[in-house]
Amino acid sequence: MGFKYYIFLMLAGIFFLGCKDNKKLDSSDFSSGSEVSQTIMAKHDSLDKNSYKGLEHIFQDTGTIQSNDKFLMLVFGKNNCSYCEKLKEDIKKDSDLQRYVSANFSPYYINIDYEKVHHFNFGEGKEKGEANVPTSQLAALYRIHATPTTVFGDKDGRTILVIPGYLPNYKKVLEFIVSNTWKKAKDLQERNKLFADYLGASK
């Protein structure tokens, strides 16, 4: 199987390296924010941060999610996900990758095993948009069926690309976003093809 074909299949959700969640994610599985005590919310906040222990200098607190005039990077993970750990380990051991992420992205690691309210804050003036979104609803919104899944967005929070599964050369994924190559595409399908071509050419 050719590398470009593998990437295309991965983006189409047919084949990827990731931890599958056989249980359908439903917001009814979690209590709403109003029903959860402050103590439990604080505990979940702490557990959420423990998910990216050792990378606190890279991943920002998911309580407030904003772009800070950079590309948005949401990494969805879960407990006992070997590929999530592999991705985090790749970032931990590569100082150049860490610097690249910090310089170009507002990165967040969201553990879908914990319910937390995320305050989204994008835009300015009349274009300003804010919303409080629980983790379960956020995962449903982005259709997270496997972990890790990385969602990239522009500075206004609009989705650029969704990458399901683990890729060994993560910096190439980031470079595709920073290069603005994706802007040449008119829709998501074309963007996925551009991404597959980009990775194939840089192999």
Q: Which range marks the domain in which residue 70 is found?
A: 3-201
Q: Tokens 């050792």 map to which residue?
A: 54
Give the domain CATH number at 7. Answer: 3.40.30.10
* Per-residue pLDDT tens over the stretch 46-95: 677 888 999 999 999 999 999 999 999 999 999 999 999 999 999 999 99
pLDDT class for 151, splitting at 50, 70, 90?
very high
pTM here is 0.78
Domain count, the chain: 1
* Per-residue pLDDT tens over the stretch 155-180: 888 899 999 999 888 999 999 999 99
Three-state secondary structure along the chain? CCHHHHHHHHHCCCCCCCEECCCCCCHHHCCCHHHCCHHHHHHHHHHHHHCCCCCCCCCCCCCEECCCCCEEEEEEECCCCHHHHHHHHHHHCCHHHHHHHHHHEEEEEEECCCCCEEEEEECCHHHCEEEEEEHHHHHHHCCCCEECEEEEECCCCCEEEEEECCCCCHHHHHHHHHCCHHHHCCCHHHHHHHHHHHHHHCC
Instruction: Report pLDDT for 25.
Output: 33
3 Cα distance to chain centroid: 23
Q: Which of 26-30, 105-109, 199-203 has the lowest mean pLDDT?
A: 26-30
